Structure 1
Amino acid sequence: MKYRTTTLAFILATTMAGSAGLAVAQNAGGKAEIYSLMPDTALSGLIDPNMPDRTDIEKAWPKKPATTDKIKVGWTEITMGNPFFVELIKGAQKAAEGSNLDLDVQVADGDLQRQCSQIDTFVTQAKDVIVVDPTDTLGIAACINRAVDAGIPVVAIGTVPSDKARVLTTITPNPYENGFGAGQYIAKDAGQSPIVAALIIGVVGNSTSESRLNGMVSGIVWQRVQDLGLKMTKEEAMLRGYKLFQSAKQSGSFKDDELKFEVVAMSEGKWTEEGGLAASEDMLTAHGSSLTHIIADNDWMGLGALRALRNIGSDGKIKVATSADGNRIALDEIKKGNLLVTGTFSGEQMGVSTSVFLKKIFNENLDAQNLPLGSYFPASAITKENVDQFIDPNPDNKFYKFEVSPILNIKQIREQAAK
């Protein structure tokens, strides 16, 4: 997989067969209500244009390594039991080749105590920096802060931890914006026809899953608001979508007659194809006669939904949409017309980008003192109109083609939002 650095900013928002507007528009009347809800498990990736400064937070930065010939990196990965994470580590190692980064990768197997023990071991070993893919966004904060107090900076990846964790930043795709762009595409594809959907979430309570699905619901709402000519700002539409998603989360359904948008069921799929298959079978049994869409937060669950539809001879009758991960199988299904949309959420991109970031802060004097808690990749909706642009001719790439994007500091983010 070849990659290159581009001038795109991490906070650039969803691109959908072109470019869509930023979800960070200024509000003349003060802070929009949607931003006052943050942090929230369903809003990971939403950018507050007035985010607080992080300069004065003690983050063990700047850090002078013991020797510039070797930057000792302690890396605790959440699991290696999924192709996503295997590609993540392969990408990180590949990007570190030929540099002074020395990666020591340990696997937590989803166990918070094991991950904390690994962090403590890295402190004892006097690593120069620690990379953490959090097993628990709240529980990991104290363990991260122990390392910081010992003088070792920490970079999170994958999932933004609690704001109590004094990390330099979090390197990650954007769950909310990927969902938002996919949701807009779902609504554009449907025109003004009613949308009656079933939702498949990886795990309720997981911020990545919740933010993807909330983003999809909110993207549908915003596109419907525009198509129907309703007088509502984008932030108001996002708030309306958020409240609808909360209804689905609490009761499994919602109905918005004005927007002609209804969710009749919501089920967990554990991020797997088998989980998506089982969830879809149950929801098709109960609601198959009325469904227009099955909306899943990742490709594997979406592929499970496609299997369920094929098993009952209903493929093509109910549309399936996802907002991540952009894996090669999903891209092929989009090209065939079986899957409506997915989003860019590659493990390899995350691993490569993390190693590139480490090289920049240690070797190229990138100032990491005032970076946002979450530094998000540009989000893109992958559809039949643009899928060919994302398919890598290199078959070894299990996901999409990508470019490594530099991180903006908080001052730059505010300036971007003000334009």
Structure 2
Amino acid sequence: MKTMVKSFVLLLVGALLLTACSTKAPGSDSDSKKKGKGDLKIGLSISTLNNPFFVTLKEGAQKEAKKAGVQLKSVDAQDDSAKQANDIEDLVQQGVDVLLVNPTDSAAISAAIESANSAGIPVITVDRSAEGGKVVSHIASDNVEGGKMAGEYIAKELKGKGNVVELEGISGSSAARERGEGFHKAVDKEKGIKITAKQTASFDRAKGLNVMENILQGNKNVDAVFAHNDEMALGALQALEAAGLKDVIVVGFDATDDAQKAIKDGKMAATVAQKPDMIGSEAVQTAVKVSKKEKVEKFVPVDLDLITK
């Protein structure tokens, strides 16, 4: 009898051990290898949220992330390359699955992108490109084409003759370089158009105002202004109005709400519409595809429009 009881106990212990061994630990086995939509984490590093354009871009990304059922963690670099590098390192440490980057400086961002590459995190650039590191896709409007549209409009309005001021964006950013390139493709062939001043105002309205004020102190003979974004254009407009110059053609880039109102009111002449909400949306859609190992285009273009009164 004792032998039978002992055998039964041994069998029971063995069965319990087998059951324990076969129980799956949380997050183990094949279930953990496949993330659900809600588990997908996308990081978004934005150059600055002090610019309405990038606020709209972020909102477009947030709406798409909510629609897709994925997590979106966004950080604001405040136009500081060093802060952006630290922000990206934090996102890497937080274990994001895909990284969206809107560079403050296209060259300076390279090391941060390489850091994400080393961690095995796919990187997608948004609106502005990067000069280094591996990027799986770039989501943006064709800035060269947009600059050309602005230049052609100004040349046409001036009938090929006049003095033009160019306010450039942040030095080192791809957007400033490309918009300037497109603009000069259009105006440099016009022998009667002279670029009387070309200075950076860092995509900022207050700086646009200050730079334009300084330019006007030396020369008020200005027929048109092309600013690489609407914020600088609106700042320049303030300086022109204060100087009593109301007939100057002012063209911006981005089609922000304030710029469109200024056009409607007859103060600004035109702006190139980039559709930032669509850029943000496309960026998240592309990030989801990348997370699923789907093939994506190296460049995903977003349409441009020229908005006038």
TM over 0.5: yes
Which residue identity lines up with residue 47 of structure 2 in the other structure? I
CA distance 1:125–1:263, change in 2 (3 Å): closer
Tell me the equivalent position of 2:78: 109
Measure, in 2, the Cα distance between the counterparts of 1:65 and 1:383: 52
Which residue identity lines up with residue 169 of structure 1 in the other structure? S
Q: Are the equivalent residues in 2 in contact too, given 1:173–1:344 (CA < 8 A)?
A: no
Mapped pair 1:88 → 2:57: yes
Tell me the equivalent position of 2:295: 367
Measure, in 1, the Cα distance between the counterparts of 2:213 and 2:269: 19
Mapped pair 1:136 → 2:136: no
Measure, in 1, the Cα distance between the counterparts of 2:87 and 2:111: 13
Tell me the equivalent position of 2:207: 275
CA distance 1:82–1:337, change in 2 (3 Å): closer
Tell me the equivalent position of 1:336: 265
Measure, in 2, the Cα distance between the counterparts of 1:147 and 1:306: 41
Give a deviation string over 1:141-175, Cα, whole Å, max 9, x none. 2332232233221111121001x310111212222
Give a deviation string over 1:324-380, Cα, whole Å, max 9, x none. 1101221122233322221123432322221222234446x7412xx33x4332222
Tell me the equivalent position of 1:380: 305
Residue 87 of structure 1 aligns to a residue whose secondary structure is helix
Residue 171 of structure 1 aligns to a residue whose secondary structure is strand
Give a deviation string over 1:104-143, Cα, whole Å, max 9, x none. 2233334444433443444444322111222332232233
CA distance 1:312–1:113, change in 2 (3 Å): closer
Measure, in 1, the Cα distance between the counterparts of 2:265 and 2:291: 45
Which residue identity lines up with residue 154 of structure 2 in the other structure? I
Indicate the structure whose relative CO is greater, using CA pairs within 8 Å and at least 6 residues apart.
1
Q: Are the equivalent residues in 2 in contact too, given 1:173–1:345 (CA < 8 A)?
A: yes
Tell me the equivalent position of 2:225: 294
Tell me the equivalent position of 1:319: 249
Tell me the equivalent position of 2:240: 309
Q: Mean Cα displacement is larger for which, 76-85 or 176-185?
A: 76-85
Tell me the equivalent position of 2:41: 72
Q: Are the equivalent residues in 1 in contact too, given 2:105–2:172 (CA < 8 A)?
A: no
CA distance 1:336–1:354, change in 2 (3 Å): same
CA distance 1:144–1:181, change in 2 (3 Å): same
The share of aligned pairs that are identical, in percent, is 29
Measure, in 1, the Cα distance between the counterparts of 2:91 and 2:207: 36
Measure, in 2, the Cα distance between the counterparts of 1:125 and 1:287: 52
Measure, in 1, the Cα distance between the counterparts of 2:35 and 2:148: 44
Q: Are the equivalent residues in 2 in contact too, given 1:298–1:325 (CA < 8 A)?
A: yes
Residue ranges of structure 1 left out of the alignment (5+ in a row): 1-63, 225-258, 385-419
Q: Are the equivalent residues in 2 in contact too, given 1:65–1:128 (CA < 8 A)?
A: no
CA distance 1:154–1:332, change in 2 (3 Å): same
Tell me the equivalent position of 1:357: 286
CA distance 1:315–1:146, change in 2 (3 Å): same
CA shift at 1:291, angstroms?
A: 2.2
Residue 136 of structure 2 aligns to a residue whose secondary structure is coil
Q: Identify the match of residue 209 of structure 1 among 173, 176, 188.
A: 176
CA distance 1:73–1:220, change in 2 (3 Å): same
Which residue identity lines up with residue 262 of structure 1 in the other structure? K
CA shift at 1:184, angstroms?
A: 0.8
Residue 130 of structure 1 aligns to a residue whose secondary structure is strand
The root-mean-square deviation of aligned C-alpha atoms, in Å, is 2.5
Indicate the structure with greater helix content: 2
Which residue identity lines up with residue 136 of structure 1 in the other structure? D
Mapped pair 1:183 → 2:151: yes
Mapped pair 1:197 → 2:160: no
CA shift at 1:66, angstroms?
A: 4.2
Q: Are the equivalent residues in 2 in contact too, given 1:66–1:128 (CA < 8 A)?
A: no
Residue 68 of structure 2 aligns to a residue whose secondary structure is coil
Residue ranges of structure 2 left out of the alignment (5+ in a row): 1-31
Q: Are the equivalent residues in 1 in contact too, given 2:117–2:133 (CA < 8 A)?
A: no
Q: Are the equivalent residues in 1 in contact too, given 2:45–2:102 (CA < 8 A)?
A: yes
Give a deviation string over 1:258-300, Cα, whole Å, max 9, x none. x212111222223222222222222223221x32212211112
Measure, in 2, the Cα distance between the counterparts of 1:94 and 1:108: 21
CA distance 1:337–1:65, change in 2 (3 Å): farther
